[in-house]
Structure 1
Amino acid sequence: MPADTPHLHLLAKAPLAGQAKTRLTPLLGAEGAANAHAELVHHCVANACRALPAGHITLWTALNHTHPLFGELHEQFGVMLAPQPEGNLGDRIRHALNSACGPAMVMGSDCPSITSDLITTCAQQLSTHDVVMLPAEDGGYGLIGTHRDYPGLFELIPWGSDRVLSATRQRIEALGLHASYPATVWDVDRPQDWQRWQAIKSSV
């Protein structure tokens, strides 16, 4: 791999019933929603490992760092595991990006529209841009990558709202950074998102 190959950081909760993908509960039940989350995390890790060597991928765990799913993913794919720190989403993204020297990208584990090809594209774009980002249909983003620490990208952002993307893009412009937005993606949060994902799987 090229010397400037970025490290990819994946953020994932343990698939605990009642604590993971709770907005899918009306459709799938608490246990079914947790199982759906586990499927999404597995799919995310598999896609990541098609794009980058496992040694360039860290899965950052939450809720239960010793959950069997994480151990299975480590054994199957060889990705590294690390516990997510305390703090809001911005704190955790920034911590992951700065956990090692060199370019890095962070993505969630519930965004099956981020294919291995798209991860490769983002890695390539990061070699010629300060920031790479995949805007999400819900007003957030599915992936962000940087070369070095830009604290302003993650401060006072309305996490969990539909204004995350617009606020972050304003920060990018204010900081004078050169950014790439290769594609718009979508994640699985609501029952209709899960049904969309199931329809795509059944068509391939």
Structure 2
Amino acid sequence: MPPTDIAILAKAPVPGFAKTRLIPAIGAHAAAVLQERLTERAVATARDATIGDVTVWCAPDTRHRSFRDLDVTLRPQPEGDLGARMLAAFGARPTLVIGTDCPALTAAHLRDAADALATHDVVLIAAEDGGYVLIGARAPHPELFVEMTWSVPSVLAETRARIAALGLTSRELPPLWDVDTEDDLARMEREFPELAL
């Protein structure tokens, strides 16, 4: 299997900037602490997969201390919407793009996704809320990312439709969940108490 790189899109753990949907429930400082813990977990998971290079794509830039402490390659996220930022993370080799909001994502999931790219053009792990927690491809496909409405329940369905329209082969792995709401936070604290605030 050729190496498969992992690109992690991460926000700096700055109060008021990270995990904003949870701020009304837990406050800006706790939301930033959670962001830092989730980023560290995502990086550790990606390293444990041992399938290729790991890069953290940082927003707003790479200067935050917590990014430098990760000891991985850092790149600034470019300007633009989520699609532009994900597309920029794809390189010349097969690439998996993930965020930091899915503590249930394991190194085994990443290895399975890389395996899928040996026989398929695109791999997805759906999110239970209608988006996805992972997208991977053997080569960049801008059509999967441009002019997409993000953070709505139709993202996964629209992505599937675009994959089909392009004539690409794809594989979907079992869905996972991410931490966006108070209910998700409670689930995280039950299932991953080491991340509890």
- Hey, what's the Cα distance between the residues in 1 that align with 2:82 and 2:57? 12
SS in structure 2 at match of 1:8: strand
* Paired amino acid for 2:120: H
- Hey, what's the Cα distance between the residues in 2 that align with 1:42 and 1:106? 16
1:63 offset after TM fit, Å?
Answer: 2.2
**Other-structure match for 2:137:** 146
1:17 offset after TM fit, Å?
Answer: 0.4
Aligned 8 A contact 2:60 2:77 in 1: no
Deviations 1:76-117 (A, max 9, x none): xxx2111011111111111111xx312111111111121111
How many aligned residue pairs are there? Answer: 194
* Paired amino acid for 1:187: D
**Other-structure match for 2:87:** 94
- Hey, what's the Cα distance between the residues in 1 that align with 2:99 and 2:83? 12
Deviations 1:160-204 (A, max 9, x none): 21111111100011111110101101111111111111100239x
TM normalised by structure 2 equals 0.94
- Hey, what's the Cα distance between the residues in 1 that align with 2:41 and 2:136? 20
Of 7, 10, 21 in structure 1, the residue corresponding to residue 8 of structure 2 is 10
- State yes or no: 1:67 paired with 2:64: yes
Of 99, 107, 113 in structure 2, the residue corresponding to residue 108 of structure 1 is 99
- Hey, what's the Cα distance between the residues in 2 that align with 1:91 and 1:52? 27
**Which runs of structure 1 show a deviation greater than 6 angstroms over 4 or more consecutive aligned residues?**
none
- Hey, what's the Cα distance between the residues in 2 that align with 1:61 and 1:202? 26
- State yes or no: 1:136 paired with 2:133: no
1:64 offset after TM fit, Å?
Answer: 4.2
Q: Larger deviation: 194-203 or 35-44?
A: 194-203
- Hey, what's the Cα distance between the residues in 2 that align with 1:87 and 1:202? 35
**Other-structure match for 1:30:** 28
- Hey, what's the Cα distance between the residues in 2 that align with 1:119 and 1:190? 24
- Hey, what's the Cα distance between the residues in 2 that align with 1:23 and 1:102? 34
SS in structure 2 at match of 1:182: strand
**Other-structure match for 2:55:** 58
Q: Which is richer in helix?
A: 1
Of 82, 101, 110 in structure 1, the residue corresponding to residue 75 of structure 2 is 82
1:155 offset after TM fit, Å?
Answer: 2.0
* Paired amino acid for 1:24: L
Of 154, 174, 179 in structure 2, the residue corresponding to residue 188 of structure 1 is 179
1:40 offset after TM fit, Å?
Answer: 0.6
Aligned 8 A contact 2:61 2:77 in 1: no
**Other-structure match for 1:175:** 166
Structure 2, unpaired ranges of 5+: none
**Taking every aligned residue pair, what percent have the same amino acid on both sides?**
42
Structure 1, unpaired ranges of 5+: none
